[in-house]
Chains A and B, each alone.
Chain A
């Protein structure tokens, strides 16, 4: 009994995943990350970009933003694959033992936000689809409130069940939902090229541009950068299951990089045609009742795939923090249920604010992890087994100050203050400093600032630790 439970801990929990336990190859990763990223985030951010910029400029903002954000974190996929360890376990090395758990406590509500967008997109699809199939549908199931929220809850319940079944169920579920997403994307591409004409789309003007082209471009860049950096929190939970380091690196990179960018580009073009950022409005507008309805249905199912992955991703670090917790509590009670409070139209309509205001937190986290891994740990060959054990046991090596790395936390908090000074995510204009945006991107600035400050503070506050990391055993 005990042995079976411990074996389950490998795929459903905290223990390092050995080569024979790994379940994901390159192709599985590409499917997985497509299901993750395209159904909700790519379509929404493409939609936002397409309502503020014309096509040529929108495409540059999208590719630059997604690419630079992903570049900052892509390389540490290999590290998690190498050790078979979870993201928030190795986070303890940079933030301190307790600090790593505090990062987890900050990130879990952020993950609720991501779940809310996917679930609400399912809800918005359902309230538009249901009247087509069932004309006498009660209004409670066909209105934004409470209809979309109720449908979002149903989608989350289905997704929780799949996530509860574990990573192999996730793998098979995404093998179904990702091709559905490709069909939707193929439909959009066909419409843009064959029906509307690429020349006509490139000639269209955005419906909600800012006062200047420069301001529009920088805001679009900031949103896309926010999405690009968002992956900083999401590498380890999946890379630990990769059959090779190459699969850990290339799978997510292709899924979240070029493939996601293709989806963003065609979302931009569709938003320019339809004039709204909400992807659930696009299908009916361009495909009519029949094809639009089919597109909406496929899109809705694909969004469940996204919720599944978000829930599983959150459940793993919860198990790392509390190893004895039952999987059902980690995957359903904690990782999914509280997200329901965010299933609201006001949250949905503020996706740009989420990408930038909350995006600042994951950007700075990524910068600190990036610096810690590559500026300090790499020379020593990252971690010894004793150090990995210490992270599991919350021991002395990564205690710093009462479990918190002051260099990391001072950097983290001061970066947020700097960011809000440079850029106001609520308005899309300059922050309280009065200088900065739109001449400099807020997220890029704090990413660089956090790298420099963390490096400096580590030398000032923990010179012994820095010295220890210079010695190769």
Chain B
């Protein structure tokens, strides 16, 4: 497709989509369903373990309790996501 045909069509479609985006941002804050806050918190919680591992690994070989707590945290996270998905019927 030549530039004379492509760009007007491209810009028209871009404007149509930006209009929808504008409306969605004003009403719902996103084009799609927004991420719940607990979701960020759960991930941050799990990520903290990466920092714990970094500190413990740097200082000394990691103790068993830290290993077990890490896998426990991940398990809790899986359960939280599972509950959320069941609650939303997905």
Which of A's residues lie within 8 Å of B, judged by CB? 1-3, 5-6, 9, 15-19, 22, 56-57, 59-61, 63-68, 70-71, 74-75, 78, 81-84, 217-218, 221, 242-246, 248-250, 253, 257-258, 323-324, 381, 384-385, 388-389, 392
Q: Which of A63, A65, A249, A324 interacts with B7 by CB under 8 Å?
A: A324
Shortest distance in angstroms between B59's beta carbon and chain A's nearest beta carbon? Answer: 10
Across the interface, do A246 and B35 meet the contact criterion of CB distance under 8 Å?
Answer: yes
Across the interface, do B3 and A221 meet the contact criterion of CB distance under 8 Å?
Answer: no
Q: Which of A70, A71, A82, A249 interacts with B30 by CB under 8 Å?
A: A82
Write out, one digit per residue, whether chain B residues 13-56 have a CB within 8 A of any chain A CB (1) or not (0).
Answer: 11001111110110001111111100110011011011101101
Across the interface, do B56 and A9 meet the contact criterion of CB distance under 8 Å?
Answer: no
For B63, the closest partner residue in chain A by CB is A56
Q: Which residues of A contact B7 (CB under 8 A)?
A: 323-324
Across the interface, do B31 and A83 meet the contact criterion of CB distance under 8 Å?
Answer: yes
Across the interface, do A3 and B9 meet the contact criterion of CB distance under 8 Å?
Answer: yes
Q: Which residues of B contact A389 (CB under 8 A)?
A: 14, 18
Across the interface, do B43 and A2 meet the contact criterion of CB distance under 8 Å?
Answer: no
Question: Main secondary structure on chain B at its contact with chain A?
Answer: helix
Across the interface, do B31 and A385 meet the contact criterion of CB distance under 8 Å?
Answer: no
Q: Which residues of B contact A249 (CB under 8 A)?
A: 35, 39-40, 43
Shortest distance in angstroms between B49's beta carbon and chain A's nearest beta carbon? Answer: 7
Q: Which of B20, B35, B39 interacts with A18 by CB under 8 Å?
A: B20
Can you offer 15 A-B residue contacts whose CB atoms are under 8 A? A16-B14, A18-B21, A19-B24, A19-B32, A64-B54, A67-B54, A68-B54, A71-B44, A82-B31, A217-B57, A244-B33, A249-B35, A385-B19, A385-B25, A389-B18
| Shortest 5 CB-CB contacts between residues of A and residues of B | A67-B50, A60-B57, A64-B54, A245-B35, A385-B22
For B7, the closest partner residue in chain A by CB is A324
Does B86 touch A at the CB level, under 8 Å? no
Shortest distance in angstroms between B20's beta carbon and chain A's nearest beta carbon? Answer: 6
Q: Which residues of B contact A6 (CB under 8 A)?
A: 9-10, 13
Across the interface, do B53 and A18 meet the contact criterion of CB distance under 8 Å?
Answer: no
Shortest distance in angstroms between B2's beta carbon and chain A's nearest beta carbon? Answer: 9
Does B1 touch A at the CB level, under 8 Å? yes
Q: Name the interface residues of B76-90: CB closer than 8 Å to any CB of A.
A: 81
For A389, the closest partner residue in chain B by CB is B18
Q: Which residues of B contact A64 (CB under 8 A)?
A: 50-51, 53-54, 57
Does B65 touch A at the CB level, under 8 Å? no
- Distance A32 CA – B40 CA, assembled complex (angstroms): 21
Question: Main secondary structure on chain A at its contact with chain B?
Answer: helix
Q: Which of B18, B19, B35 interacts with A78 by CB under 8 Å?
A: B35
For B51, the closest partner residue in chain A by CB is A68
For A82, the closest partner residue in chain B by CB is B30
Shortest distance in angstroms between B42's beta carbon and chain A's nearest beta carbon? Answer: 9
Q: Which residues of A contact B53 (CB under 8 A)?
A: 60, 63-64, 67
- Distance A454 CA – B55 CA, assembled complex (angstroms): 27
Beyond A19-B24, A257-B46, A324-B10, 6 additional pairs, beta carbon < 8 A: A60-B56, A82-B29, A83-B31, A243-B32, A246-B33, A249-B40
Q: Name the interface residues of B48-74: CB closer than 8 Å to any CB of A.
A: 49-51, 53-54, 56-58, 61-62, 70, 74
Shortest distance in angstroms between A239's beta carbon and chain B's nearest beta carbon? Answer: 10
- Distance A66 CA – B19 CA, assembled complex (angstroms): 39
Shortest distance in angstroms between B54's beta carbon and chain A's nearest beta carbon? Answer: 4
Across the interface, do B9 and A324 meet the contact criterion of CB distance under 8 Å?
Answer: no
Shortest distance in angstroms between B50's beta carbon and chain A's nearest beta carbon? Answer: 2
